[in-house]
Homo-oligomer: A and B are copies of this chain.
Amino acid sequence: MADPKTLHDLPTPALVADHSALQRNLTTMAEALPGDRLRPHVKAHKCTALAARQAAAGHTNFTCATVREVEGMAAAGLGNDLLLANEVLDTRRLGALDARVTVAVDSTETIRAAASGGVREVVIDVNVGLPRCGCSPEAAGGLADEARRAGLLVRGVMGYEGHLMMVDDRAKQKAATDESMALLLQAHGDVGGELVSAGGTGTYDLNSAATEIQAGSYVLMDTAYAKLGLPFELALSVLSTVISVSDKWAVGDGGLKALGMDHGDPTVEGANVWFCSDEHLTFSRSPSPAIGDQIRIQPAHVDPTMAKHERLYLLDGEDVVDVMEIDLRGW
């Protein structure tokens, strides 16, 4: 295929983003949380080219969720300060990377794994209310001591208030975030270190306890985050071609293999989405679309949507102005 010049050249389904909206999202965040106040989470886009844009906006420390993401960021020259904000027992691939790598630990086992894999720096992951990883706040100090005895540098604490990202009353969200962060600060008192790493797009402006915020979704956004009234624009969609039209419904190419479905059905502006199949979206709209029309499908969850695509096309209106490989997929 020749290089696509406009969206009409793209084989569909194709993942696209509005370039100017994306740039405005980068700017808005960089103004709110400049430089190291933001540690962008690459799990939201899995794309080193987008991470490079975030670095150009001033954020050169990054958060990762998988070993593959850490490897890819290091290989792309973005390894200034990478935090693997996740527990990992298989550390074989982490120790030899040409990057500063810090790993989250929440147990004796993960401390041992970090030390034996050649990882040099860790943060103590503290559970602040989301039933997932992290030790109890009371256990954090003891684990920090244990990590230091194992020869690891303890940089501080992290604690993700993921259960609070989608609270739609901001006053309640602020109060709950403060409660969560009180637990993290209590742990930090016992652990020490310069880092109190937490937060996400939903609490980026409410979390005043963290020294750095791990937001990622803000760059591209999705329909779930768009409901919260944050100052970030929905830049992402899946470009789809209408391939079949009946008197009651129409069908676009691009279905649940092209969209993160865990937050529910995607949205097509001005249309009723009936359901997604593997490679189809059935919808109705008045007036009915014509076969060959292109539509934009807005995903409900950005992270898994990105992980399903090989590349992201950046658009200025109908023009394709950049193509980014989504190169941090897999494990």
- Which positions in A face B, CB cutoff 8 Å? 1, 11-14, 43, 65-67, 86-90, 92-93, 106-107, 109-110, 127, 131-134, 136, 162, 241, 243-246, 248-249, 251, 253, 256-258, 260-262, 274, 276-280, 282, 291-292, 303-304, 307-310, 330-331
- Neighbour of A244 across the interface among B43, B107, B303, B330, CB < 8 A: B107
Bound CA span A83–B65, Å: 40
Q: Which residues of B contact A251 (CB under 8 A)?
A: 87, 132-133
Chain B CB count within 10 A is highest, among A131, A241, A243, A274, for: A243
**B279 x A243 contact (CB < 8 A):** no
**B278 x A303 contact (CB < 8 A):** yes
Contact residues of A: prevailing secondary structure:
loop
- Neighbour of A86 across the interface among B12, B260, B279, CB < 8 A: B279
Copy number in the complex reads: 2
> Within the complex, what minimum Cβ distance (angstroms) separates A182 from chain B?
19
**A131 x B282 contact (CB < 8 A):** yes
Bound CA span A330–B279, Å: 11
**A132 x B244 contact (CB < 8 A):** yes
**B127 x A246 contact (CB < 8 A):** yes
A-B contact pairs, 9 of them (CB 8 A): A1-B92, A14-B331, A86-B280, A87-B251, A107-B291, A109-B292, A110-B291, A132-B280, A278-B304
